[in-house]
Amino acid sequence: IATQGGTGVGDRNMDDMVAALAGPDGMRPKLVHRLDRDTTGVLVFGKTHAGTAALAESFRDRDTKKVYWAIVLGVPRPASGQIRSWMRKDYGPGQADREMMRPAIQKDEGAVHAITDYMVVQNAGQEAAWMALRPVTGRTHQLRFHLTEIGNSIAGDPKYRCDRPTPGGLDGKLLLHARAIEIPHPKKGTLRVIAPIPPHMKKAFDLLGFDERDAKDPFEPFE
């Protein structure tokens, strides 16, 4: 299910479907954190106007911790580190969903700076790796762009590709999952959510010999 409406999506998207959860005052949950169309995992909605504003501010101020899991082609070296780059939005020919991020330099019009922390959790020889990713900034397609920039595209990505072969047996779906989020609760305390991996990613884990039980706490690598 798509996060938001768009070309070819119609009203079968999370943003429209949660209208059924509107409160007595007619206030419907508002999307605060979106995901790319083929990415699975945690979404964040605000239930009230004040709550939505507070959650959105937490994202803007970078008070939110997000961790994604991905299966990438090849094995990044070094096994942990930080990716920094400038990028800008561009469009290819044809459909509206051809929007892509391109490499840029600081002075380019529309250029934005993107930062991603990463760690290899396990590897399947030199063919593929299971990675934990923490986007410090929240740019469009940031993780997909960054992994391609270092030569280790996310398996199943139809837009951002490197020249490494895809291990046989994978079904071609994007293997990127918004695993966990930690965000200040608008009223008090901290909201922490961990999303189980979807069936197609579990299948890829089994194929490549990865075991979820070998993962540490999803936030630990970045504390």
Cβ(82)–Cβ(53) below 8 Å: no
Q: Give the Cα separation of 161 and 153 in Å (integer).
A: 5
What are the C-alpha distances in Å from 122 to residues 24, 52, 214?
48, 37, 9
Using CB atoms within 10 A of its CB, is residue 25 exposed (0-12), middle (13-18) or buried (19+)?
A: exposed
3-state secondary structure of 16: helix
**Does 36 participate in catalysis according to the annotation?**
yes
Catalytic residue, candidates 15, 36, 90, 163: 36
Q: What own/partner pairs with CB < 8 Å and gap ≥ 24 does 213-218 have?
A: 214/121, 214/122, 215/121, 215/132, 218/67, 218/69, 218/132, 218/179, 218/180, 218/194
Say which residue the tokens 């780059």 belong to.
85
Tokens found for residue 115: 């930062």
Catalytic residues: 36
